[in-house]
Amino acid sequence: MSEQTAQRHDSGLVTESRGYVRVLTLDRPERRNALSSAVQADLVEELLACAEDPAVRAIVLAGNGPAFCAGFDLKEIRESDRRGEHFRPPMNRAGRNLFEVVGETYVPVVAALAGHAVAGGFELALACDIRIAAPGIKLGLPEATIGMGANYGSVVLPKRVPMGIALEMLLTGEYVTSEDAERWGLVNRIVPADGVLPAALALAERIAANAPLSVRRMKETAVKSLDLPLATALRLDVGPNPYLSEDRREGIAAHLEKRAPRWAGR
């Protein structure tokens, strides 16, 4: 597949298909790609659609402009407060939580962090499976400095880095750099800023070239077995079973015949 089609939502989310890779780009550079209610809803819808579409085998999440994402749209929240509207905590809202949807999406998600990712923007990056970052960008959760809660980050960050580091970041609200994050294994690799998106796309394309059922099975197993005892995890049996698929036979045949496999996704 080689078609490249792009669509811009009114919220500022741009979706583009590049073969088997779907690129979702936050395009609100004037607001540092802040997560308005509308862009959150569109992201959730697009992610759910990707999980249902067999033509999507990997996702790249990017941001246009100098920031990947500055978090929730604080101006929108303040305007709501001024109107006297009731503010609901993240897990008490009618719609799906964006970060949960990213983390639960069957399709692998690669974050292209060419700019700063802070607050909810850092949580969005945390929810992705793989992170490619530019050098020297800021990452962190300043919620304690503005009276917010970093609900997702408070749970997930201690699973990604040592507890002491996670608590220092959470409790001080201070930022770290992408170099720090790479040293802790939070960022997979650092590349020059203008190479972040190409590197993320190349990685997504490499993933998309593999057997789709195997990729889905491995992601589901890795994510859902993380906190389980070994004996339970080995018997989890989540997602489609690649061992019983047509693609397993095709993959072995292609390997022995020294040709590219033709995946059927079944």
Using alpha carbons, list the distances in angstroms from residue 201 to 112, 187, 215, 236, 238: 9, 16, 17, 31, 27
pTM for this model (two decimals) = 0.92
How far, in Å, CA of 73 to CA of 86, rounded?
16
For the 4-208 domain, the top CATH level (class) is alpha beta
Residue ranges of domains in the chain: 4-208, 212-257
Per DSSP, what are the bridge partners of residue 69? 117
Give the 3-state secondary structure of 215-233. HHHHHHHHHHCCCCCHHHH
* Catalytic, out of 123, 220, 250, 257: 123
Give the three-class secondary structure for 205.
Answer: helix
Mean pLDDT to the nearest integer, 77-86: 83
Q: Rounded CA gap, 28 and 129, in Å?
A: 23
Residue 190 in 3-state DSSP? strand
* Exposure of 145 in the CB half-sphere (CA atoms within 13 A): 11
Q: Which of 76, 85, 143, 246 is catalytic?
A: 143
The predicted pLDDT at position 3 comes to: 54
Residues 6+ apart with CB under 8 A from 164: none
Q: What is the CA radius of gyration of the chain?
A: 19
- Residue 1 pLDDT greater than 60, yes or no: no
Query: Mean pLDDT, to the nearest integer, of 209-222?
Result: 96
Q: Is the pLDDT of residue 75 over 90?
A: no
pLDDT range class, residue 235, cuts 50, 70, 90: very high
Is there a catalytic annotation at residue 143?
yes
What SS3 state is found at 40?
helix
Tens digit of each residue's pLDDT (9 = 90 or more) over 126-144: 999 999 999 999 999 999 9
Digit-coded pLDDT (tens) for 155-166: 999 999 999 999
Concerning whether 174 is annotated as a catalytic residue, the answer is no
Q: What is the pLDDT of residues 14-65, one digit of tens each?
A: 999 999 999 999 999 999 999 999 999 999 999 999 999 999 999 999 999 9
Residue carrying structure tokens 């793989």: 130
Answer with the residue of higher pLDDT: 26 or 96: 26
